[in-house]
Amino acid sequence: MKPTSTSANTLVLSRAQLAQGEISLPGSKSISNRVLLLAALAKGRTRLSGLLDSDDTRVMLAALRQLDVKLEDHGDGRLDVEGGLAPSSQRESIFLGNAGTAFRPLTAALAMLGGHYHLHGVARMHERPIGDLVDALVGIGADIRYAGNEGYPPLDIASGSIRGGQALKVKGSVSSQFLTALLLASPLCTASTGHPLIIEVEGELISKPYVLITLNLMARFGVDVQREGWHRFIVPAASAYVAPGELAIEGDASSASYFMALGAIGGGPVKVRGVGSRSIQGDIAFADVLQRMGAVVQWETESVQVSGVQVAKGERLKAFDEDFNLIPDAAMTAAALAMFADGPCLLRNIASWRVKETDRIHAMHTELARLGAQVESGPDWLRVHPIADHAWRDAAIETYDDHRMAMCFSLASFGPARVTILDPACVAKTFPDYFQVFHSLIQEQSA
Kindly state whether residue 14 participates in binding ligand PEP, applying the rule CB under 6 A: no
Query: Is 329 an annotated catalytic residue?
Result: yes
Q: Is 413 in the site for ligand S3P (CB under 6 A)?
A: no
34 lines the binding site for ligand PEP (CB under 6 A): no
Three-state SS sequence of the chain: CCCEEEECCEEEECCEEEEEEEEECCECHHHHHHHHHHHHHCECEEEEECCCCCHHHHHHHHHHHHCCCEEEEEECCEEEEECCCCCCCCCEEEECCCCHHHHHHHHHHHHHHCCCEEEECCCHHHHCCCHHHHHHHHHCCCEEEECCCCCCCCEEEECCCCCCCCCEEEEECCCCHHHHHHHHHHHHHHHHHCCCEEEEEEEEECCHHHHHHHHHHHHHCCCCCEEECCCEEEECCCCCCECCCEEECCECHHHHHHHHHHHHHEEEEEEEECCCCCCCCHHHHHHHHHHHCCCEEEEECCEEEEECCEHHHCCCECCCEEECCCCHHHHHHHHHHHHHECCCEEEECCHHHHHCCCCHHHHHHHHHHHCCCCEEEECCEEEECCCCHHHCCCEEECCCCCHHHHHHHHHHHHCCCCEEEECHHHHHHCCCCHHHHHHHHEEECCC
Among 205, 430, 438, 442, interactor with ligand PEP by CB under 6 A: 430
**Residues 80 and 121: beta-carbon distance below 8 Å:** no
Q: Cβ 279 to ligand PEP, closest distance in Å? A: 17
Residue 207 partner contact from ligand S3P, ligand PEP, none using kind-dependent CB cut-offs of 5 to 8 Å: ligand S3P
> How many whole angstroms separate alpha carbon 96 and alpha carbon 283?
24
With CB under 6 A as the contact rule, the residue among 175, 186, 255, 358 that binds ligand S3P is 175
The answer to the question of residue 210 lying near ligand S3P (CB under 6 A) is: yes
176 annotated binding-site participant: yes
User: Is 278 annotated as contributing to ligand binding?
Assistant: no
Q: Which is nearer to ligand PEP, 309 or 406 (CB)?
A: 406
Choosing from 329, 380, 401, 423, the catalytic residue is 329
Q: Is 30 annotated as a binding residue?
A: yes
Kindly report the backbone phi and psi dihedral angles of residue 92, in degrees, each rounded to the nearest multiple of 5, phi listed first. Answer: -105, 130
Q: Binding of ligand S3P at residue 26 (CB under 6 A)?
A: no
Is residue 227 a known part of a binding site? Answer: no
According to CB under 6 A, which residues from 69 to 108 bind ligand S3P?
100-101
Q: Does 404 bind ligand PEP (CB under 6 A)?
A: yes
Contact positions with ligand PEP (CB under 6 A) in 80-99: 98-99
Residue number with CB closer to ligand S3P (94 or 217):
217
Which residue number is nearest to ligand PEP in terms of Cβ? 100
| Residue ranges in 285-344 that form contacts with ligand S3P under rule CB under 6 A | 328-329
Site size toward ligand PEP, by CB under 6 A: 9
Distance CA 103, CA 60 (A): 8
Residue 99's binding partner among ligand PEP, ligand S3P, none (Cβ under 5 to 8 angstroms by kind) is ligand PEP
Confirm or deny that 329 is annotated as ligand binding.
yes
Among 57, 107, 176, 279, binds ligand S3P (CB under 6 A): 176
Q: Is 121 in the site for ligand S3P (CB under 6 A)?
A: no
How near is the Cβ of 269 to ligand S3P at its closest, in Å? 27
Q: Any contact of residue 377 with ligand S3P (CB under 6 A)?
A: no
Q: Annotated binding residue at 50?
A: no
User: Considering the rule CB under 6 A, would residue 100 count as an interface residue with ligand PEP?
Assistant: yes
190 binds ligand PEP (CB under 6 A): no
- By beta-carbon proximity to ligand PEP, the closer residue of 124 and 169 is 124
Which residues bind to ligand PEP, rule: CB under 6 A? 98-101, 329, 356-357, 404, 430
Which residues bind to ligand S3P, rule: CB under 6 A? 30, 100-101, 175-177, 180, 206-207, 210, 328-329, 352
Active site residues: 329
